[in-house]
Amino acid sequence: MLTLASKLKKEDGGKTGRASGASDSTYRVSIRDRLLTKEVAELEANLPSTCKASFPDEDKLHHFQLAVSPDEGYYQSGRFQFEIDVPEAYNMVPPKVRCLTRIWHPNITENGEICLSLLREHSIDGTGWAPTRTLKDVVWGLNSLFTDLLNFDDPLNIDAAEHHLRDKEDFRNKVQDYIKHYAR
């Protein structure tokens, strides 16, 4: 599956056989791509059972989708799609993540913006992005937004959080309605 890995191996083996006058840029692979080759292999080996990663282009490990299908809680039976783009400056900056599925969630807006501290470049509480974090942390964090990281006290979608505080049963019904219409 990881054709970029084979590309990296060819590059390492082919450096000495380079034709004179060949441009260095044709043989360079970015630090991001080198990191992603290792991280994607680790991610695939340690993916939560409720998640599935898909790579539309196997040569572009920096752009992929993640499907999260929670098996408990308010969002059980839904299938939520996320788009993950890893910028060239990775691992010094976090990946850009957007929820593609319309959802009624206190930490995800209906437009797909996500409030997850580890995706913040700078975080007051010290839980934001750090170069030691990996894609596995991002995936596990997104998965946890549907269970233990579901946060009604510091919401991005204030209407959803207030709805939950007012009437938990009606909140559950609205979540199920969204799942029925958008997350199957």
Q: Which two tokens stand for residue 33?
A: 């791509």
For CA atoms 68, 159, 120, 59, the dihedral sign is positive
91-110 pLDDT, tens per residue? 999 999 999 999 999 999 99
| Cβ pair 116, 17 in contact under 8 A | no
CATH topology for 28-181?
Answer: Ubiquitin Conjugating Enzyme (3.10.110)
Domain boundaries, the chain: 28-181
Residue 25, CB-side half-sphere exposure with 13 Å CA sphere: 0
Q: Tell me which of 29-33, 69-73, 105-109, 124-128 is least confident.
A: 124-128
**Which sign does the torsion angle of CA 69, 73, 76, 80 carry?**
negative
**pTM here?**
0.84
Q: Residue 30 pLDDT more than 60?
A: yes
Q: Which whole number is the average pLDDT over 75-88?
A: 97
User: Would you name the residues annotated as active-site residues?
Assistant: 115
Strand order in the sheet with 96-99: 51-54, 63-68, 80-85, 96-99
Range name among 15-29, 34-48, 90-104 with the lowest pLDDT average: 15-29
Tell whether the model's pLDDT for residue 6 goes beyond 50: yes
Which helix or strand (DSSP H or E) is residue 65 part of? strand 63-68
Confidence (pLDDT) at 13: 53
* pLDDT score of 117 more than 60: yes
